[in-house]
Structure formats: C-alpha cells, structure tokens
Amino acid sequence: MASEPGMVIVGAGECGARAALTLREEGYDGPVTLIGREPHLPYERPPLSKDLMLGTEHPAARIVIDEDRLKKAGIDHLARSEAAAIDRQARHVVLENGLRLPYEKLLLATGCQPRRLPAVANNSRCVTLRTFDDALAIRTHLHRGVRLVVVGGGFIGLELAAAARQLGCPVTVLEAQPRILMRGVPEEIAGIIDARHAAHGVHLHCGVSIEAITDTPAGIAVELKDGAAIEADIALIGIGAVPETALAERAGLAVENGIAVDAFLQTDDPAVFAAGDCCSFPLALYGGRRVRLEAWRNAQEQGALAARNMLGAKEAHAAVPWFWSDQYDLGLQIAGLPDEGRETVRRDMGNGALILFHLAADGRLVAASGIGPGNTVAKDIRLAEMLIARRASPPRDRLAAPEAKLKTLLAA
C-alpha cells in the first residue's frame, strides 16, 4: 500500500479499470489505487443480461483486467473495499475500515445502482440486476416453466425478458409509460422490438401502474391499480438506475443528475474528477446540453479521457453518444441524441433492417437510430456517428437512398 500521494480511483468497473490502465499507458509511474466494493476483478456489465443468462453451466464474468495484468501494471486493486469519505483539504480518501489513502488526483467512477421499489425492498422474489452476483442469483431461477414478471420496459428488463423466453420461461413485462423504451429510442424502432417480443410470446402491458406486490403460496402476485393481478414466481425490477453520488455529496461536490463535471470531466474541486455512469457533463455537440450516459462505450471513453486529464491533458469530451442492445436476433444501435432531431429521414436497407436519421431544424444530422438482424446496421451507424461528429448536413435524398453510400457523404 502506497503512503505517498498518487492516483486514486473509486469504482473498479469498466470505467475505473480503463482509467487505471490509461494512466500507465500515458507514462504515469506513481502509485495507482483502484477501489472496488465487489469481490471480483473488474468485469464488463453488458453480458450480464444477455450471454451470461444463456451461457455455459459454469458462468464466468468477462474480465476487463486480470490479476497478472494488474500486477505488471503496478495497479493496486482493493477489492471488497468501500470509500466512506473524501477529505478534500488533506487530499485523502477514507475507507470504511479507517484506512486513509492520499491522492494527487482522485477519480470517482462509482457508477449507478438500480432504482428500487420501496414497497418490495425485503421481498426475496423481487430482484434487480446490476452486478455479476445479481446475475448469478437470477440465473438460478430462470429455467423452463418459471414465471417471470419484468417491471419496466427498458433495455435491461427487455434483454432479460428475451433471455428468459429463450430458456422457456413465461414472461410478462409491465411498463408504466405508454410504450416500451420511451427514453432515447424512437417510437418506430421501439414498435419493432415490441412486436418481436410479442412474437416470442412475451406479454407486454404498457400504461399500467402497480398497486402492490404480495407473496402467495406459489410465488408472488403483482396487483395493478386497475384491479388486475399477475401471478409469477419471480419479479425483476428494471425501472432505471440512479447515479452513485453519496460519496461526492458528503464531500460537498456539486451534483446535478449525477456528479457534475465540466467538459474535461473535472468537478468543482480541481483535484477530483468523475467519469462514467455516475457523472453528468456538457456536450458541446448539442449546445452544451448536460447529459448523463449509462453506456458501456461511454464508460470506456470517459475512463481513458479522465486519466489523460488527471495528467494535465485538458482534453474536452467530444465523443458522440452511442448505445446498443441485442433483442433476440435483432441488433439495435443509436448514435447521437434522437430527441435533438426535428425531422426524421428513413432508410430501408432490406432484410428488415432500417435506419432513422434525425435532423435538427437547420438540417444538421444529430442522431441515427438503426435496427436489423445481427450487426447489419453497425457499419452505417458508425459512419453516421462520424457525420454527426463533423456537424454535417447531408442531403435528405442521399440519406434516404439505400444505394447511396454514407462513406461518400463523409468524403464530401
């Protein structure tokens, strides 16, 4: 354990691990400490609701950085450790066990926690999915005939619903909003995903409110405010996530839908940075709009960016937001922020694949949403992402025509 000030990272997920590695790749030779509350090595979260549910008999986390690489990089990984406080004046992170870690610069990569339904907090049949251990626990329940209710029609809930159906579980999805995927996914694409779930036997109910979830002799009953009741063996609560800001708040750092940082991922304390799911930041591409992104690639990119800026790079965040999800055989990808668009141009690509290009009032491309079998939209979404980054205003007829190559629009 280093006694001299170094780089301390609170949060040993994708973002924190990427930051630790980048510090070494950029030549930093001082102490690097990575603090994580889980017992595991840093791992990827996206497979938890997909591959892990359907995988081998002995599932394993997809590790970001293993013990050997940690050792070779000289990164001190403190597993099963909780940061209790930040002493900003002394520049120390105080752990729950009383250990004080001095820092030169501090990165908060604390991530999110699932939003919970208070009324079912102590019901063992009502579960949430965030960690590898959560996934293992849920996986033990998902076998043929087990009735699953998913509360919330967002990405996590729907991905788990798809996995459960493939395992032979009857699945019901309950969504309070008028449709699934209300946040960030255009209605037309959400409709395609809705139809695919229905075709696979998922019972989708939108615009419903839950009155209570109670135990029954055979499992649980989800009682709706309209008087209906749905019997199930287990309920997944997937109603969103809340950023982990308690540590920052106790330290007096600004919080605004997450730990508030500037374009360099720096908080209002110049020695403290934040990155990944836990922080909100301004996007110059969208007029400085402050956003918070819960996305795998954003965690990677911001972890690396924060590390460079902790070393003095002063490099502003410029990446285009990017999201993805797999639903059965369908791959969904979104680049940019669709709600910034005022006009939509549709491109049909054949074989059930399509891309929606979202244009601002002045014709600038601000987002692209695509869906299709497998990775059929991946290449064009990547090209659209590059057009968005360049603030391009491509001709509408070229965007709509499947034979018009987006690569030629980049060249123009």
Dist. CA 17–CA 15, nearest whole Å? 6
347-356 long-range contacts (CB < 8 A, ≥24 apart) are: 347/380, 347/399, 347/400, 347/401, 347/402, 348/402, 349/376, 349/377, 349/380, 349/402, 350/402, 351/376, 353/377, 354/189, 355/380, 355/381, 355/384, 356/186, 356/188, 356/189
* Residue 220, burial from CB neighbour count under 10 angstroms (0-12, 13-18, 19+): buried
**DSSP state letters, 353-398:** EEEEEEE-TTS-EEEEEEEEETTTTHHHHHHHHHHHHTT----HHH
Centre a 10 Å sphere on the Cβ of residue 77 and count the other Cβ atoms it contains.
21
Centre a 10 Å sphere on the Cβ of residue 290 and count the other Cβ atoms it contains.
14
Q: How confident is the model at residue 379, as a pLDDT?
A: 97
Q: Which CATH superfamily is domain 6-113+242-310 in?
A: FAD/NAD(P)-binding domain (3.50.50.60)
Dist. CA 289–CA 52, nearest whole Å? 36
Residues near 37 by Cβ (< 8 Å), separated by ≥ 6? 80, 81, 82
Q: Considering only CA atoms, which of 390, 385, 130 is closest in space to residue 244?
A: 130
Residues near 56 by Cβ (< 8 Å), separated by ≥ 6? none
Q: What are phi and psi of 307, to 5 degrees?
A: -60, -45
396 token code pair: 């509408």
Q: How confident is the model at residue 51, as a pLDDT?
A: 87
84 token code pair: 């209790």
What residues in the chain have per-residue pLDDT under 50?
none
Residues near 4 by Cβ (< 8 Å), separated by ≥ 6? 30, 31, 102
CA distances in angstroms from 337 to 128, 185, 274, 379, 388, listed in the order given: 27, 9, 22, 18, 10
Count CA atoms within 13 Å of residue 35 on its CB side.
Answer: 25
The domain spans of the chain are: 6-113+242-310, 116-239, 329-411
Q: How confident is the model at residue 287, as a pLDDT?
A: 96
Q: Kindly give the interhelix angle for 187-199 and 155-166, rounded to the nearest 10 degrees.
A: 20
**Dihedral sign (CA 122, 125, 126, 130):** positive
Q: Considering only CA atoms, which of 336, 347, 349, 321 is closest in space to residue 392?
A: 336
**Dihedral sign (CA 378, 383, 385, 388):** negative
* C-alpha triplet 5, 6, 11: angle, nearest 5°: 120
**Coil vs helix vs strand at 158:** helix
Q: Considering only CA atoms, which of 293, 319, 284, 291 is closest in space to residue 305?
A: 319
Dist. CA 50–CA 48, nearest whole Å? 6
Q: What are phi and psi of 49, to 5 degrees?
A: -95, 0
98 token code pair: 């009383």
CATH architecture classification, 116-239: 3-Layer(bba) Sandwich (3.50)
Please identify, in words, the CATH class of the domain defined by 329-411. Answer: alpha beta
Q: How confident is the model at residue 2, as a pLDDT?
A: 56
81 token code pair: 């450790």
- First-last CA distance in the chain: 55
Q: Considering only CA atoms, which of 244, 245, 238, 279 is closest in space to residue 115?
A: 238
Centre a 10 Å sphere on the Cβ of residue 71 and count the other Cβ atoms it contains.
11
Indicate the pTM of the whole model: 0.95
* Residue 129, burial from CB neighbour count under 10 angstroms (0-12, 13-18, 19+): buried
Same fold, 6-113+242-310 and 329-411: no
Q: How confident is the model at residue 394, as a pLDDT?
A: 97
Q: How confident is the model at residue 120, as a pLDDT?
A: 73
The pairing of beta strand 259-260 with beta strand 279-283: parallel
